[in-house]
Amino acid sequence: MKKIFRYVILLIVAYIVVETLVYFLTKTYYKDLNNYDILVKSPVIEITESKVSKTKGYIQGNITNDTGELIRNLRVKFDFYNEQGKYVGSENKTIDVFNISERLNFDIKYEYKDVSEIKISIVREE
């Protein structure tokens, strides 16, 4: 029984070490992506972090309802473009009910190749 327990502990430690190394090694491949356009003034969208690698990336931020009214069925759309300005894909963040003065965080992960620009817009669905 002692031997099995040691193997289980060793397996858990090996898993943690591998996951930590993978995290730090892949994190270095990401670079800042500051080439983004927010195409709306209200609700207010703020980008806190945007990183990109050769084949994927992520964008984090928050959105604040400063319109003075309750918003239903709001979709924040993220369009991704490569260096040639060619559209490569899009991702969405859907908000069913967005209360007055409410602030929400978002985290969008994407897997598109050679992204160099992001355009952020709002789609209100009725």
Question: What pLDDT, in 10s, does the model give residues 1-16?
Answer: 788 889 999 999 999 9
pTM given for the model? 0.75
Q: pLDDT of 14-65, one tens digit each? A: 999 999 888 777 666 788 889 999 999 999 999 999 999 888 999 999 999 9
CA distance 30 to 112: 14
State residue 126's pLDDT score. Answer: 59
- Picking from 78, 89, 70, 82, the residue whose alpha carbon sits closest to that of residue 45 is 78
Task: Find residue 77's DSSP bridge partners.
Answer: 92, 121
Which residue shows structure tokens 């994190």? 27
pLDDT exceeds cutoff 80 at 96: yes
Count CA atoms closer than 13 A to 12's CA, side-chain side: 6
Q: What is the CA radius of gyration of the chain?
A: 20
Average the pLDDT over each of 49-53, 116-120, 122-126 and give the range with the smallest value. Answer: 122-126
First to last CA, the chain: 62
